[in-house]
Structure 1
């Protein structure tokens, strides 16, 4: 089971990096970033269950990662909405258009 969890995490990490590198749309980039965070969480929980040293470190740390991901999603989507309202596009290469 340990190998299967790590393979799933590595696959999800690769798909997330590929999506993050190739996307021009900001919402797609944020979704790819969320899949990278989920891959890290899968690896933490899989490693914690494998070593099972009776400490809750592997299960507690993903809660902090989820909180950071939620804050990132909120600020990223707020920026995307601001960009969409002002310039009618959510392309990443148009961030410099938000300047005054």
Structure 2
């Protein structure tokens, strides 16, 4: 059985994390920022599963990955609810136009 070296997993995860960071920083909409954060969380999951695969005695990497998935799902739910409220009030999802917090 051919196994993929750990370095390949780490390289893919680093690339995915970098792309997610670039998206989160450069996007001008809340949804784009959220997508960038999700890509970064998926890169963390790849790292956790890769390290867990090379230490089969411990399942901690897989458990942490499951925890990250649950936290990401909760984050998306709350973030989308906030985005919907912001859009309902300001009629935009552009963070630069949402600049007052009077209420």
TM-score by length of 1: 0.91
How many residues align structurally?
99
State the partner residue of 2:72.
69
In structure 2, the CA distance between the partners of 1:21 and 1:75, relative to structure 1 (3 Å rule), is same
Matches of 2:63 and 2:44 in 1, distance apart?
A: 13
Return the index of the structure with the highest Cα Rg: 2
Runs of 5+ consecutive residues of structure 2 not aligned to the other structure:
none
State the partner residue of 1:91.
94
Q: Which deviations, in whole Å up to 9, do the C-alpha atoms of 1:49-70 show, x marking residues without a partner?
A: 1232x12111111111111111
Runs of 5+ consecutive residues of structure 1 not aligned to the other structure:
none
Q: Between Structure 1 and Structure 2, which shows a larger proportion of helix residues? A: 1
From 80, 83, 87, the counterpart of 1:80: 83
In structure 2, the CA distance between the partners of 1:95 and 1:68, relative to structure 1 (3 Å rule), is farther
State the partner residue of 1:50.
54
Q: Secondary structure at the match of 2:96?
A: helix
Once the two structures are TM-superposed, the CA of residue 23 in structure 1 deviates from its matched residue by 1.0
Contact conserved, 1:83 with 1:98, CA < 8 A, in 2? no
TM-score by length of 2: 0.88
